[in-house]
Structure 1
């Protein structure tokens, strides 16, 4: 498992933005500690994070990404 900081460094996305993606349901952590609220991500989630980043770089809004991911 990767901490939110480690995952942020690997993806080039800030921890703040990862929390935002979680709130939107786009990239939920693999595990959230109920006591501390610390988020942990799996290495397998790097693929989804990279897809999200690529779609944003292509000009898609987060809302468009969310709609397409829930529709498919």
Structure 2
């Protein structure tokens, strides 16, 4: 697991943006330390960051991306969103 700062460097995204994604429930930390409040992420979540980037480059808003992520069949959801 990576603390938010380390994960942000790997993902090439700001800590502020990761907190924003958490607030929007786009990318939630896998763990939040109850004592320190540190957010922890896993390497597999790097794919989510990349998918968000790709969808944003296609013109989707974060609200639309969240809807796509919530669907059980993302490919079909993407088709309907287009």
Tell me the equivalent position of 1:29. 29
TM-score, normalised on structure 1? 0.90
Q: Which has the higher contact order (CA 8 A, sep 6+)?
A: 1
CA distance in 2, matches of 1:69, 1:30: 17
TM-score, normalised on structure 2? 0.80
Post-superposition offset of 1:57: 2.0
Give the length in aligned residue pairs.
72
Gaps of 5+ in 2: 73-82
SS in structure 2 at match of 1:25 = coil
Post-superposition offset of 1:71: 2.9
What's the C-alpha RMSD, in Å, of the aligned pairs? 1.0
Q: Displaced runs of 4+ in structure 1, greater than 6 A?
A: none
CA distance in 2, matches of 1:3, 1:38: 7
- What are the residue-to-residue correspondences of 1:1-72 with 2, within 5 Å? 1-72=1-72
